[in-house]
Structure 1
Amino acid sequence: MKRRFTSSHYLFMAGAVFFQLLVYGILHATAVPRPDSVVSLEVRHAWGTQPPSMGSWQAGLPSTPDGEGHPLWLKLEGASGPWKDPRLVFYPSVPVVALYKDGTEVREETLNELGHDPRFVTEWSAMPLQPEEAGGPLILRLDRLASVPWAIEMAESADWVTHLFRSDLLLFVSFMILLFLGLVAIGLYAAFPREPLHLILALFAWCLSLNFLVRIQSKSLFLTAPDVYFALGIAGAVGWPIFALLFFERVVHPSLRNMTRALWVGYGSLCAVAIGCIAVEPKAFHFLENGLMMLVVQALMLAIVVLIVLSIRRESKNVEYSFFLFAFTVYFLDFATAIALPVQGGGVASSLALALGFTAVMLRRYWATQREVQQLNAGLERKVQDRTEALTQAIADRAAMEERNRVAHEIHDVVGHTLTGAIVQLEAGQLLLGRDPDQAQRKVETAQELVRKGLDDIRASVRMLRDDAWSEPIIDLMQRAALETEHHADVEIRQRFDANLPELSSSFKSLLYSALLEGISNGIRHGGSRAFEVELTREKDRLRFRLRNEGRPYAGEEFGFGLQALRGRAERLGGTFGFRSNGSEGGAVLEIFLPLHDPAI
């Protein structure tokens, strides 16, 4: 069973009725009465090339121009004075007016150079008169008429201009409201270019504002450009139904969008044909503007109402359809009011209601988008928080692992170095046991001393894991380690240190100290070296550590735990690690380069 109108739909239609009554009341209350100095004249007319005789005048104004192109002669009466600055005002404009007195042409004035073309006929044209000319009957000749005036008035210039401005006030306010709405919509489109409704609403509002602009009668006081007003009027009249349909296409129920698209494509094609006809035959302008095209536009608006009803029957809870229902209810109420009760400012209610309904749709979607963005941001924040917690835990686990590795490296480097010395002493004692028992005994005692020192080194290594344990200069630490190694391992260690080394971080000191101990231990165990040479120097923006032994050459064997650990630590500190054979000189070289510009220094 298809859904019907709900109470909210009827509420919106009731609101449309109230809105129409409100605007009509405002229009009625603000209607500007004509001042006493603006007088409608009694008119008689005749057609011909010569001034008509007394008996050939006909009462009133003709409804259409003479089919043979003859000038229109007018006899004007009823303008009793006195006059200070009189103006003779024609509605609509006329191209050329000649003033006659006693059967003789007094002067001729061009009021609208393009007025012979029906496309460029404006709302009015005014001919200035001398006070003495306005006092009695006037004989006028109107040439090249595209349309016949429907009214002619005599007015004081200042009073008439004031009356124009006051009459245009409501139209001007409507024009400014729609112009501002278009600017706001285009600003939203600049901020959110993925939403085309903002751009469509801006163009729709500006087309409606053009319709009000060309209806403002006082505009010609500032700029007399009928061709420009014609172009603006065509743009506004053709554009607003197209943009209304484009906007509605994005709101209507999806099953009806193809039908809506066909409507605006068909209307746009018909407008193109009509504009072409007007360009070829200007006389067709009035028929197309006030006849055929007006009926087409009303049929389009009625089609939109039908589509709104069908959309409501398919999706009654969509409030956007209610906004359109409000707007188009006002539109047809305003159209009926304009036919039954012509008032100044007709079309204001319908234009503002359409703009209001479209704006409500746009704002609803904007707020819906903002809610979605807020929900997405909240979801992203939760995910970021969860991810941060996971990363924090992972960092903590990695830090714990690195700390364990650091403890293992320190114990390996320091204690391994000490035990290497103990092994050397035990091996020497074993060799001397048969030849020199006393000397062998001393070697064993030295080995015992080294083992005890190894236990102390374990405790010291744990203490040195703290950063404050590396407060001594690196040169002092390395010299003391070299001296102890020479004493316990019976080796020679030559030293060369730069005196101007900068203060190093605990990470750099720990790495260099471990490299010295590990290099000496490896040289003794694997290379059988009894002599070493250690260097710590500065080369521009980097620190160079070099340890050379004089044992067996390095044959490219895979690194053990100690060297692998040294290489990893050097790379983490932004440095490089190398271990190679010393070539023809024999032995091996351990070399480390560290950057001195590192923040850790």
Structure 2
Amino acid sequence: MRETGWRVHLPLLRILLGLGVLLIALVWPLSSFSNRETPPLNTGGWSWAPALSGANAPALASDAWSSSGDSGSVPASEPYWLRIPLPESNAREPQLWIFGAYGLKVYVDNELLYAYSPERSGHRLNPFFHWNLVPLPAPVPEEVLLFLDNGKLSGTMPSVRLLDKHEMVTEIFSEGAVSITIGALQLFCAIIAFGLYRSRRDRLYFYFFLLAACGAYGSFARNRFLQYLWDQPWIGYLEKAVFPLGVFAFIGTFCVLFHPLHSRLLNRLRRTTFGFFVATLAAALADEAIYAWIINYLVLPAFLIVAAQLFYALGSIYRRRRDIESVWMLSGSFVVTFVALVHVIRYYSPELAAEIVRIVPAASKLPGDLMSFSLLLFLLCLVRVIAHRFDEVNRELSEFNRTLEHKVRERTAAILERNAQLQKTNEKLAASMRENAETMAEALVLEERNRIVGEIHGRVAHVLSASIDQMEQAEQAMDDNAELAESRLEKTQQTVRQGLEAIRKSVRLLKDDAPPPNSEWSRSQPGGTEK
């Protein structure tokens, strides 16, 4: 009978609590690093002006500038000028680190210092990860003019930091070291999973590989240090397109682990997310406007629908099984889905994210790569499930080995007993064959003796017949021809001697072919001796 009450859920609660503590333990150091970042410049003294006369006329009348206190007054789609006063700085290599700018030109004293246009460079940008680094002359000028063409971004002000180049490199490396480490771990897991899939052809390892590879890609794409080493905006731009592929692999693991429970629902979700990934990737490569529309308006509702159906399926599976696999996977899914919701709101719905930060200011202190941490925890849960399956397989193999050893012992005993029986049978057969051989030999000897006896009998009969005939002729010739009679008697005598010699030879042969005196045949013959 299945237990009831809250105690049956203690394993699930313990694992959830452990994963939560581990997530906090991983995130807290990163939050500490984030708090050490150089704060952006205060926007209180900034002013902006519409770019009515084009980008090549930074000198504007004083009455053309408007205060930037109200960020909503910044043009959402039209190019504009932004005047930023700079504080005093002792930096040897001063740099402006600018975030949230699409097309950008930077002027100091009407002199162009820096220009970047993604259209001219053939780039497509993810504004949340892309940044511009503008070298400034030393000493730091009093102000800079920025020409911003943010037609594809919202009308919020860019974030600008003033710092030394050395400080910027140190800061960007400190911020990205943790995510690089997590990405390397995920990449290592992906390589191991791919090797297991190549050797075993198990779809679980394929989804493991795909999920770990997507996590590693996201960790590296969201890392600012990667752009410092290799300024390739396409990597960050396609990060949002790769996210549905990770969800596809995430659902695929449940399709394999819990088959055939809720197979129809899980397979439908898996195919839907893969189709969404294909559509998103095609839009990203074909049309940036369609891609932005999908990201801004479809990702969040699609994610909520998929998450709700997935949790329904996992909850039903957990109620049916409540084994170690369902407990670990449900716990990991809850953590990664909650963090994925935060990730989707932050990067896919910036207006909603800004409203949440306004209500809960502490949300702004969350690290930018929180998704990688939760995905790493889910991979750990998946590793735990795979290890459990290996333990089950090892236990079954051990039980099979014990059964096999028992059967081998039984079979060996049966074979030994059979060999003993065969050995006894062979001994009896050998004795029987010896007896048969002796009997056959005795029969052959008897047959030969009979032949010799018959031969002796024939020779004796021939000699006697010839002798009688010779003697009769000699008797008839005795009166008429004594010499002829004498000749006949000599021939008779010679014939008798020859016959006697032949009889002696046959008797000797008969003696040579006689069986040994102790044989059964010799004892059974008349006159035989028995010792």
Q: TM class by shorter-chain length?
A: 0.7 to 0.9
Q: CA deviation at 1:432?
A: 2.1
With 204-213 and 153-162 compared, the bigger mean Cα shift is at 204-213
3-state SS of 2:298 partner: helix
Distance 1:398 1:63 in 2: 103
Distance 1:310 1:156 in 2: 56
Mapped contact 1:112–1:125 kept (Cα < 8 A): no
Out of 162, 171, 184, the position equivalent to 1:176 is 184
3-state SS of 1:347 partner: helix
Mapped contact 2:76–2:150 kept (Cα < 8 A): no
Q: CA deviation at 1:67?
A: 6.1
Out of 367, 378, 388, the position equivalent to 1:354 is 378
Counterpart check, 1:244 vs 2:243: no
- Which residue in the other structure is 2:49 paired with? 46
Q: CA deviation at 1:227?
A: 1.7
CA separation of 1:410 and 1:454: change in aligned 2, threshold 3 A: farther
Mapped contact 1:207–1:239 kept (Cα < 8 A): yes
Q: CA deviation at 1:75?
A: 0.8
Distance 1:93 1:54 in 2: 24
Distance 1:36 1:381 in 2: 66
Distance 1:6 1:359 in 2: 27
Q: One-letter code of the match for 1:252? A: F
- Which residue in the other structure is 2:396 paired with? 372
3-state SS of 2:88 partner: coil
Mapped contact 1:334–1:346 kept (Cα < 8 A): yes
Q: One-letter code of the match for 1:450? A: D
Residue by residue over 1:317-348, the C-alpha shift from the partner in whole angstroms, topping out at 9 and shown as x without a partner, is x2211112211332355467776534114224
Q: CA deviation at 1:423?
A: 2.9
Residue by residue over 1:151-186, the C-alpha shift from the partner in whole angstroms, topping out at 9 and shown as x without a partner, is 111111111111111111221222122222223323
3-state SS of 2:83 partner: strand
Higher-Rg structure is 2
RMSD over aligned CA atoms reads: 3.7
Mapped contact 2:26–2:373 kept (Cα < 8 A): no
1 or 2, which has the higher strand percentage?
1
CA separation of 1:35 and 1:248: change in aligned 2, threshold 3 A: closer
Distance 1:68 1:180 in 2: 43
Mapped contact 1:118–1:146 kept (Cα < 8 A): no
Q: One-letter code of the match for 2:48? A: H
Distance 1:40 1:115 in 2: 28
CA separation of 1:359 and 1:294: change in aligned 2, threshold 3 A: farther
- Which residue in the other structure is 1:10 paired with? 10
CA separation of 1:46 and 1:203: change in aligned 2, threshold 3 A: same
3-state SS of 1:83 partner: coil
Q: CA deviation at 1:362?
A: 1.7
Mapped contact 1:83–1:135 kept (Cα < 8 A): no
With 238-247 and 2-11 compared, the bigger mean Cα shift is at 2-11
Distance 1:242 1:112 in 2: 31
Mapped contact 1:86–1:157 kept (Cα < 8 A): yes
Distance 1:371 1:64 in 2: 69
CA separation of 1:240 and 1:326: change in aligned 2, threshold 3 A: same
3-state SS of 1:74 partner: strand
TM-score, length-scaled by structure 2: 0.73
3-state SS of 1:131 partner: coil
CA separation of 1:80 and 1:409: change in aligned 2, threshold 3 A: same
Out of 56, 60, 83, the position equivalent to 1:75 is 83
1 or 2, which has the higher helix percentage?
2
CA separation of 1:216 and 1:4: change in aligned 2, threshold 3 A: farther
For 1:460-475, list aligned pairs within 5 A: none
Counterpart check, 1:199 vs 2:199: no
Distance 2:330 2:37 in 1: 44
Counterpart check, 1:325 vs 2:330: yes
Q: CA deviation at 1:449?
A: 5.4
Q: CA deviation at 1:241?
A: 0.9
Distance 1:68 1:309 in 2: 46
Q: CA deviation at 1:191?
A: 4.0
Counterpart check, 1:140 vs 2:203: no
Distance 2:73 2:215 in 1: 30
Distance 1:281 1:221 in 2: 27
For structure 2, the 5+ residue unaligned runs are 344-355, 462-498, 522-531
Residue by residue over 1:420-476, the C-alpha shift from the partner in whole angstroms, topping out at 9 and shown as x without a partner, is 355323322234245478976875675465343396799xxxxxxxxxxxxxxxxxx
With 78-87 and 421-430 compared, the bigger mean Cα shift is at 421-430
Q: CA deviation at 1:409?
A: 5.6
- Which residue in the other structure is 1:58 paired with? 66
Q: One-letter code of the match for 2:273? A: Y
- Which residue in the other structure is 2:515 paired with? 452
- Which residue in the other structure is 2:303 paired with? 297
Q: One-letter code of the match for 1:13? A: L
Distance 2:385 2:80 in 1: 53
Q: One-letter code of the match for 2:305? A: A
With 41-50 and 255-264 compared, the bigger mean Cα shift is at 41-50
3-state SS of 2:91 partner: coil
Distance 1:169 1:354 in 2: 21
- Which residue in the other structure is 1:212 paired with? 219
For 1:262-411, list aligned pairs within 5 A: 262-316=268-322, 318-334=323-339, 340=360, 341-342=363-364, 343-344=366-367, 345-395=369-419, 397-398=421-422, 401=425
- Which residue in the other structure is 1:223 paired with? 230
- Which residue in the other structure is 2:107 paired with? 99
How many residue pairs get aligned? The number is: 451
Q: CA deviation at 1:394?
A: 4.5
Mapped contact 1:120–1:226 kept (Cα < 8 A): yes
Mapped contact 2:186–2:216 kept (Cα < 8 A): yes
Distance 2:234 2:73 in 1: 23
CA separation of 1:312 and 1:240: change in aligned 2, threshold 3 A: same
Residue by residue over 1:520-557, the C-alpha shift from the partner in whole angstroms, topping out at 9 and shown as x without a partner, is xxxxxxxxxxxxxxxxxxxxxxxxxxxxxxxxxxxxxx
Q: CA deviation at 1:96?
A: 3.7
Q: One-letter code of the match for 1:44? A: S
CA separation of 1:306 and 1:22: change in aligned 2, threshold 3 A: same
Q: CA deviation at 1:55?
A: 2.2
Distance 1:113 1:131 in 2: 31
TM-score, length-scaled by structure 1: 0.65
3-state SS of 2:513 partner: helix
Residue by residue over 1:270-323, the C-alpha shift from the partner in whole angstroms, topping out at 9 and shown as x without a partner, is 33334444444312434433542133223322322211221233334x221111
Distance 1:273 1:64 in 2: 35
Q: CA deviation at 1:408?
A: 5.6
For 1:544-583, list aligned pairs within 5 A: none
CA separation of 1:34 and 1:353: change in aligned 2, threshold 3 A: closer
Q: Report % sequence identity.
A: 14
CA separation of 1:118 and 1:9: change in aligned 2, threshold 3 A: farther
Q: CA deviation at 1:145?
A: 5.2
Distance 2:285 2:255 in 1: 31
Mapped contact 1:250–1:257 kept (Cα < 8 A): no
